[in-house]
Structure 1
Amino acid sequence: MTSIDDRIKTALEQDTKEIDALLASEGGLPDMISASFKGGLRRWMFLVWPLTLIVTGFMVWSIYNFFTAGESYIYWGFCSVGLMMMQIALKQWSWMEMNRAFTAREIKRLELVIAGLSAKLGKNS
Structure 2
Amino acid sequence: MNIDEKIKRELNEQSSEIDEILAEEKGIMDFVVGSYRSSLKIWFIIVNVGIAIMTGVFIWAGYEFFNAGNVSDQIFWGVCFLTAFIVQVAGKQWIWAEMSRSSLIREIKRVELTLNRHLDQLK
Same structural fold, with TM-score higher than 0.5 when normalized by the shorter chain: yes
Residues 21-40 of structure 1, C-alpha deviation per residue, up to 9 Å, x if partnerless? 53343222112212222222
Relative to 1, partners in 2 of residues 1:8 and 1:112: Cα closer, same or farther, differing over 3 Å?
A: closer
**Unpaired segments ≥5 residues, structure 1:** none
d(CA) in 1 for partners of 2:113, 2:59: 47
The sequence identity of aligned pairs, in percent, is 39
Count of residue pairs brought into register by the alignment: 120
| Counterpart for residue 99 of structure 1 | 100
Query: TM-score, normalising length from structure 2?
Result: 0.79
| Counterpart for residue 76 of structure 1 | 77
d(CA) in 1 for partners of 2:19, 2:60: 44
Q: What displacement does 1:84 show?
A: 1.0
Q: How does 1:49-64 map to 2 (within 5 A)?
A: 49-64=48-63
Amino acid in the other structure paired with 1:36? S
Bigger mean CA offset, 4-13 vs 105-114:
4-13
Q: CA RMSD in A?
A: 2.4
**Unpaired segments ≥5 residues, structure 2:** none
Relative to 1, partners in 2 of residues 1:25 and 1:110: Cα closer, same or farther, differing over 3 Å?
A: same
